[in-house]
Amino acid sequence: MSRTAGRPAVILPRMPSFSDFDTRGYRTVDVATGYGRWVSTYEDTVEDVMDLALLAELTVPTWSGARRTADLGCGTGRTGAWLRQRGVTGTLDGVDLTPQMLERARARGAHDRLQEGDVRATGLESGAYDLVISSLIDEHLPDLRPYYREARRLAAPGAHCVVVAFHPHFIMASGMPTHFTDASGEDIAIETHVHLLSDHVAAGLGAGWRLVEMREGIVDERWLARKPKWATFRNHPVSAALVWAREDG
Ligand SMILES: C[S@@+](CC[C@H](N)C(=O)[O-])C[C@H]1O[C@@H](n2cnc3c(N)ncnc32)[C@H](O)[C@@H]1O
């Protein structure tokens, strides 16, 4: 590690491996294969309390003020639909690498443009978006830095970047990857990576973002009403929302 005046010039992420925590041992598939097969039941199984409830608690950004939004890892359009409900009337562009998820998003109609692509190299216009948002994709990225750099490339002056993450504590404590149950009843894991919150902070700061708000969602009564088996995780953090502002200074 290079050092400047006794301090590390570059803070490298620690990136613990999910395999150190895995208690399930499910067969693991890559992202496009996994979501391509999960798509028909995805909306029935993803819990709004994981991400949409956290987004609703944020005090920044002013959603309705977003003139141009990039929804990276847009999936079936859940996040986009939520943004529309929150008063986003501007242009909303979505990017995702799973064609079947994009097909659902197209049918939903919340986005103006949808394209198949990688959140780390979207091909979208540089410096054009005043909101970049990603919900529940961070655990699928081996390294967060390319994501935050791409979000920064897309950001217009004064832009915000909002990231909702699968909380590393929950992944470690539960030993549970992102997974779904396929038509045959088999539980299948989708490649999952553990990112410490400090890795988000280092990657975001390193890309030219300033952290302006952060919330953590815990396994509370709303969760337990849906998942009584999670009583053992009562009050454990399960998701986190980070709000970044473009650092222009
Ligand atoms: C859990 S879903 C979240 C979808 C949507 N944001 C939501 O909240 O419902 C994760 C999505 O991220 C997409 N994804 C994961 N890694 C990606 C990458 N590197 N580039 C583009 N999309 C990715 C998957 O295809 C999937 O649609």
Q: 94-121, pLDDT tens digit by residue? A: 999 999 999 999 999 999 999 999 999 9
Atom 25 of ligand 1: nearest residue by CA position: 98
Element (DSSP H or E) covering residue 145: helix 145-154
Ligand 1 centroid – CA 78 distance (Å): 11
Choosing among 3.90.1310.10, 3.40.50.150, 3.40.50.12780, 1.20.120.330, the CATH entry for 12-246 is 3.40.50.150
The string of pLDDT tens digits covering residues 205-234 is 999 999 999 999 999 999 999 999 999 999
Nearest CA to 144 out of 129, 166, 113 is that of 166
Ligand 1 shell residues, CB under 6 Å:
31, 35, 46, 51, 73-75, 78-79, 95-98, 101, 118-120, 135-137, 140-141
Ligand 1 centroid – CA 101 distance (Å): 8
Ligand 1 centroid – CA 136 distance (Å): 7
Q: What token pair was written down for 110?
A: 């919340």
Report the b/e string of 86-119 with b at 16+ CB within 10 A.
eebebebbbbbbbebbbebbeebebbeebeebbb
pLDDT at 3: 43
Ligand 1 centroid – CA 165 distance (Å): 11
pTM: 0.94
Domain ranges of the chain: 12-246
Cis amide bond preceding 13, omega within 30? no
Q: For the chain, give the longest Cα–Cα distance.
A: 59
Judging by DSSP bridges, how do beta strands 91-96 and 7-8 pair with one another?
A: unpaired
Whole-number average pLDDT of the chain: 94
DSSP state of 140: G
Alpha-carbon distances, residue 151 vs 5, 54, 121, 186 (angstroms): 30, 20, 9, 35
Atom 1 of ligand 1: nearest residue by CA position: 136
The string of pLDDT tens digits covering residues 130-175 is 999 999 999 999 999 999 999 999 999 999 999 999 999 999 999 9
